[in-house]
Structure 1
Amino acid sequence: MYPPKETLLEALKPHLSYPAGKCPWKSTIPDPFTGRLWAWLPFKLADQSGRIILWYLPGLLTDARQQDMLDALRTLGTVLARGKSNPDPSSTSRSTKEWRRNGVLFNPDVPAHGVPSGGMSVSAGWYHKPQDVCSYLPKAAVLLERNPSVADWARSSAETFALMSGILALVHPTQYEEGLRCMRKLARESLTPDIVGDWECVFTAISVMVNRETIFHREGQGHYEWYNILATYGSYLCGQLSFPGIGIDLDSRPGTVVAFCGNILRHGAPRCIGERVCLAYDMREAVHRWAATGPAQWSRGPNPT
């Protein structure tokens, strides 16, 4: 049997260079088993034309902010548990909805007082079904619209959501502006404008993943030029975020924020030791197309002041 095409392509690792005295790697020798370099210091990754495809910001979030998020999520135990199906090790489905919920990916060995393993995705305005795209007005996720506990969680997390928007404004100013224009139109014309008013974030959707490993995948609902942002919370060891195509493993310790082109870079996260919560922030191309926010652009860093 031949190796998958993806594996063959990723065997051709790009040449990675960095300024003198600013090596982000734990060691300049790749791991003998994975062939990847281990990054533990902050860096940005750009191609030869200056297009930045990844920002790594380890340990950015304070312990207090992480604790606030964990405390808020503990109230959503039942909701999060519904986002996890029964373990099915035999499942070979690559369907996004199915593998993300497969119980075999969730770590059962978590503290009794911790956030229950599971997940959920919420949005202030998106399309619930693919066939609805641009045929109807966007509306909030059902969880956010009908579950008061989820709505309370979103409101209590407003400051952290706004912080992620602020980070995006620095690392990808044009995407931030597009997100802002989209939210303004959702506030005027969506089917759930009141929810948009409480949504302190320029990202269309936020996904919560608790104690789950993530198989290698790419995102599929945004532009290639756009960033997804991942932020981690908790008390755990051996956290890792891997990018096989560029030959990098990131030390994803608690409080780490990573902004990257999720439609381009295949990525995954193995199981860690302890309680890990990850929030993923993304924008939906279909909603932006409805909002006519303009063509997507690549990030070249913060705007000059």
Structure 2
Amino acid sequence: DIARYSKLISPKDTGHNEQREARLLERCPPGHEGKRLVDKPATILDASGAIIAWYLPDALTDTTQKEIREATNLLAPSLEKSVRADGNWRTNQKWFNRGSEDVGATPGCINLSPAWFQQGHENVSDPEVSASLKGPSCENILKAISRPAAIASAALRVMHPEQYWAGLRTLSNLGHIAVSKDLPQMPEALQYWASVFNTLS
């Protein structure tokens, strides 16, 4: 089952160590049904009946996918600035390669959040709007991602209701704090924030 399997693995398991993978496969073999082609919405259960994956083909329509691409294009300047030759493990240039035809989304790594905790900064006690949302295009970006974000939130409402409601409570509390402490830009960002998650990366 997934609980037992999760106790056996660690972040160091990359899937590239064949001996390690063989040992994991021996200890946690797949079900007895063999391979099966799934071409309709389905859930995958572990041995204990816990849902470990949801398969939702065509859940994102062509229109929604187009909206996501257009929103990503709005983020292109921030994505481009995020990649540096001397970047850390998240932003190092060597991890971001463009295809030969230079098509698709601009490579990069940014965080969007109406309430980002400034980790590593001294004397900062309150969260702030993330740097990628502090510019003049904040409202346009948040409006562009609103429908895809709402779809992801609706999926979470079905798949993990406890996390969904906890997220809503968190955002509600953030709204009250932002107003009571007069935190810059946060009330405006929260007004257009359509995701139950408080950060999108």
TM-score, length basis structure 2? 0.72
Q: Secondary structure at the match of 1:120?
A: coil
Matched, 1:17 2:31: yes
Q: What is the Cα deviation at residue 80 of structure 1?
A: 1.2
Match of 2:43 in 1: 44
**Which residue of 185, 196, 199 corresponds with 1:202?**
196
Rounded to whole Å, the distance in 2 between the matches of 1:131 and 1:49 is 44
Counterpart residue type for residue 156 of structure 1: A
Match of 2:144 in 1: 156
**Which residue of 111, 122, 127 corresponds with 1:121?**
111
Q: What is the Cα deviation at residue 199 of structure 1?
A: 0.4
Matched, 1:53 2:55: no
Rounded to whole Å, the distance in 2 between the matches of 1:169 and 1:99 is 33
Larger mean Cα displacement after TM superposition, 117-126 or 172-181: 117-126
Which protein has the larger Cα radius of gyration, Structure 1 or Structure 2? 2
Is 1:76–1:149's contact at 8 Å kept on the other side of the alignment? no
Is 1:168–1:175's contact at 8 Å kept on the other side of the alignment? yes
Q: What is the Cα deviation at residue 203 of structure 1?
A: 0.5
Rounded to whole Å, the distance in 1 between the matches of 2:114 and 2:55 is 27
Rounded to whole Å, the distance in 1 between the matches of 2:32 and 2:56 is 16
**Which residue of 105, 127, 132 corresponds with 1:138?**
127
Q: What is the Cα deviation at residue 141 of structure 1?
A: 0.8
Match of 1:168 in 2: 156
Q: What is the Cα deviation at residue 62 of structure 1?
A: 1.1
Is 2:67–2:144's contact at 8 Å kept on the other side of the alignment? no
Q: What is the Cα deviation at residue 120 of structure 1?
A: 1.6
Rounded to whole Å, the distance in 1 between the matches of 2:53 and 2:187 is 33
1:178-213 Cα distance to aligned partner (Å, 9 max, x none): 111111111111332221121011001111xxxxxx
Rounded to whole Å, the distance in 2 between the matches of 1:10 and 1:150 is 44
Rounded to whole Å, the distance in 2 between the matches of 1:168 and 1:5 is 28
Counterpart residue type for residue 15 of structure 1: P
Rounded to whole Å, the distance in 2 between the matches of 1:5 and 1:119 is 22
Give structure 2 stretches of 5+ with no counterpart.
Answer: 1-10
1:192-248 Cα distance to aligned partner (Å, 9 max, x none): 2221121011001111xxxxxxxxxxxxxxxxxxxxxxxxxxxxxxxxxxxxxxxxx
Matched, 1:180 2:193: no
Structure 1 residues 141 and 50: CA distance shift in structure 2, 3 A: same
Give structure 1 stretches of 5+ with no counterpart.
Answer: 26-39, 89-96, 208-305
Rounded to whole Å, the distance in 2 between the matches of 1:98 and 1:43 is 39
Q: Secondary structure at the match of 1:80?
A: helix
**Which residue of 88, 91, 96 corresponds with 1:101?**
91
Of structures 1 and 2, the one scoring higher in RCO (CA 8 A, sep 6+) is: 1
- Greater share of strand residues, 1 or 2? 1
Rounded to whole Å, the distance in 2 between the matches of 1:142 and 1:5 is 31
Q: Secondary structure at the match of 2:43?
A: strand
Rounded to whole Å, the distance in 2 between the matches of 1:55 and 1:18 is 20
Q: What is the Cα deviation at residue 167 of structure 1?
A: 0.6
Q: What is the Cα deviation at residue 56 of structure 1?
A: 3.3
Match of 1:80 in 2: 79
Structure 1 residues 72 and 126: CA distance shift in structure 2, 3 A: closer
Q: Secondary structure at the match of 2:148?
A: helix
Percent identical: 31
Q: What is the Cα deviation at residue 100 of structure 1?
A: 2.4
